[in-house]
Amino acid sequence: MDFARKVWKLLVAIKDGLALAFLLLFFIGLFGILSARPHVAPVAEGALLLKLDGHVVEEPAAIDPLQTLLSSELPTHEYRARDLARALRRAATDARIKAVVLDLSRFTGGGQVHMQEIAAALDTVRAAKKPVLSYALAYSDDAYLLAAHSSEVWVDPMGGAYITGPGGYTVYYRQLLDRLKINYHVYRVGTYKDYVEPYLRNNQSDEARTARKALLDALWQDWQDDVAKARPKANIKLVTGDPVGWLKAAGGDSAAAAKAAGLVDSIGTRAEFGDRVAALAGKDTTSTLPGVFAHTGLATWLAANPEPQTGKPIGVVTIAGAIVDGKAGPGSAGGDRIARLLDEALSEDLAGLVIRIDSPGGSVLASEMIRTAILRHKAKGIPIAVSMANLAASGGYWVSTPGQRIFAEPGTITGSIGILAAIPSFEKVLANYGVTGDGVRTTPLSGQPDVITGFTPEVDAMIQAGIENGYARFIGLVGKARGKTPEQVDAIAQGRVWDGGTARQLGLVDQFGGLEDAVAWVARQAKLEDGAWHAVYLGGDANPYASLLERLRGSDDEDAPEAVADFAGIVAARQQDDLARAFSQFERMFGARGAQALCIDCPVSAAPQRRDSAGQGWVALAGRIFAPLRD
C-alpha cells in the first residue's frame, strides 16, 4: 500500500507539472502576442471613425492580462484625451479623410475639460470644411457636449437626448454610525474641507452647500455656454427647465422631443446613418452589409500618424488619479512611481518640464515626494509649467506649487487647500457586547490607539496639532509659489474648491490653456523656435504587461507596507495592527488544540506573515507541487 501511495503521488505530481508547463507556455505566448509591435494597417480614404465605447481619461489605467483573463468581464475601454484631440487635428489636414464620424452609442463620458478639448479639435475639422457626424442611441451630458460640435447630429428612433446638469445628493452616515456606536475621529483644518462631513453629519453644512453650489453653477454655466456657441438652435432651457412638459409635448417620443428642441438634426437607424456617411465619405466596397462606409479606425490612424520626435525634448509627467503611496499606476498616481520617473529623467537633456495634473489629491507623503522630485528638475534651471485638466485639487494643488506658470481651463476644479485625517474607533461597540479593557500605562501614549478603550485626549490633541502643522506647511508652499502671504492664502484656502475661472481671479492659476499651451510656453521660455522641440511623455513607453511578468516572477515588495510619516498615520497603522492582534487572539481562543504556553504580556507582532521573496514565483510553485515526493 505504501508503494501504491507513492506511485499515485508521483502520477499526480507529473500531471500537475505538465499542467504548470502548459500554463507557462500559454502565458509566454500571451505575453508575446500582447507585447508585439502592432501591424500598421493602411489608411483608407473615407471617414475617420471614432467609436468611443468607453471612457475618456487623462491616462488609461494599466491592464493586467492575468487579472483580465481570470475576470468574468472585460475592463472598460479607456481613451486618452490627447490621443483623440491629436487624431482629429491631424484628420483636419489629411486629404484622405473626407469626414469624421463619432459613434457615441456606448460612450460613458469623461471630464468636462477633456470633452471641451476634444470638442475644440472637432471645430478644427469643421473649420477645414470637413463634415462631422455624430450618432447615438441616447445622448447624455458628456456625449452631447461632443455632439453639439458636429455638423450633423443623429439619434436612433428608440433613443433620445437627456441633459441632467451636474450635481446630486451625497449619502450621509452619521445616524448609522451612532446606531452602531462607532466613533469617527476627524482632524481637519479648513471650514470647507467637507470630505468627512458624511461621517459627522446627517446633512450638508451651510458652508459646504455654499461652496458646492458656486462650483457647480460655474461648471454648468460653462457647459451651457459651450453648447450654445457650438449649436445655437439647441433649446437647453426647455429641456432642463421643464423636462416632463418637453417630453409630453412629443407624445413621450424621446427622439422626436430631442429633434423638436433642436438637440438633434435627424432621426434614423444605424444603417440609415451609415448610408448618409457613405454619401459623404464613400462606400465600403469590400462589404455588402447595410450602412457600411469607407473608414479608418482610431488605432490605425494613430499608428499611421505618430507624434513628432524632432528637436529638443520637453518632458511631460502625468499625475492622474488619486495620489497614493507606492508604485500604483498608470491610472492612479503612485508617489514612488512618479518620483522615480522624474528622477530617471534627470539624466536626460530636457529643455523644460510640464506637470500635467488630473487628480483630486490624496496622500500628503506621496504629494510631497512628487513635489521634491519636481524641485530636483527645477534646480537644473529649466522652465517648469503646470497644466491642470479636470481636477487639480488638494494634493493635486500641492504638486503644482513648483510650477513657474499654471495653466487651467474654466471647467477645471482646483484649490481644496486643506488637510484632514479620519480614524474610526470601536470602544462603544465592544463595550455594548461586554468587551472592555484595563491595564497599566507608563505614558499617556502607551498602548495607543487602544481599540478597546479608544483614544486618550493626548492622542487627539497630537493628531490635530500635526494636521494644523501640515496645513501651515501647505499654505506656506502656496504662498511662496504664488507670491502671497500665508494670511492671503488662508483666506482663499480653508479646503474650499474653486472652478478654474474663479481660481484665476484669485491668483491660484495664471492663465487659461491646455496641455499644448503649457508645452508651448515652456518652449518659448527655453528660447526654442517652432519645430525645434517635441514633447516626451515620461513613462509613456512603459510596458503595459509588466504586471504579468511581476506576477510570474514574484515582486520583491508586493506585500511591503505603506510608508507612514505623521502621527495620524502611526495611530492608524497601530490601530490596524491592534485589530489584527485582537482577531488573532479571538481566533486563538477558539482555535487552540491542546495545552498552550503563551505570555499575554509578551509583545507579539500582529503583522501578517509575508511571503519570502525566495518562496514566490513559479519555481517555488513547482516546488510545492512536487513536495509530496519528499514524503
Active site residues: 193, 394
What 3-state DSSP class applies to 198?
helix
Q: Report d(CA 403, CA 385) in Å as an integer.
A: 5
- Answer yes or no: are the C-beta atoms of 420 and 195 closer than 8 Å: yes
Which residues lie below 8 Å from residue 166, measured CB to CB, with a gap of 6+? 141, 216, 219, 220, 223
By DSSP bridging, strand 77-80 and strand 152-161 are: unpaired
By DSSP bridging, strand 77-80 and strand 54-57 are: parallel
* DSSP 8-class letter at 45: S
Q: Report d(CA 207, CA 218) in Å as an integer.
A: 17
- Answer yes or no: are the C-beta atoms of 314 and 351 closer than 8 Å: yes
Closest CA to 130 of 82, 87, 91: 91
Burial of 101 (0-12, 13-18, 19+ CB in 10 A): buried
What 3-state DSSP class applies to 535?
strand
Cβ neighbours of 250 (radius 10 Å): 16
Helices (H), 445-604: 457-482, 486-492, 500-506, 515-525, 546-553, 567-591
- Answer yes or no: are the C-beta atoms of 446 and 569 closer than 8 Å: no
- How many Å separate Cα 465 from the centre of its chain? 31
Which residues lie below 8 Å from residue 250, measured CB to CB, with a gap of 6+? 256, 257, 260
* Long-range contacts at 520-525 (CB < 8 A, ≥ 24 apart): 521/383, 521/385, 521/405, 521/407, 522/314, 522/351, 522/352, 522/353, 522/354, 522/383, 522/384, 522/385, 523/314, 523/351, 523/352, 525/352, 525/383, 525/404
Residue type, 300: T
φ and ψ of 173, to 5 deg: -115, 5
- How many Å separate Cα 417 from the centre of its chain? 20
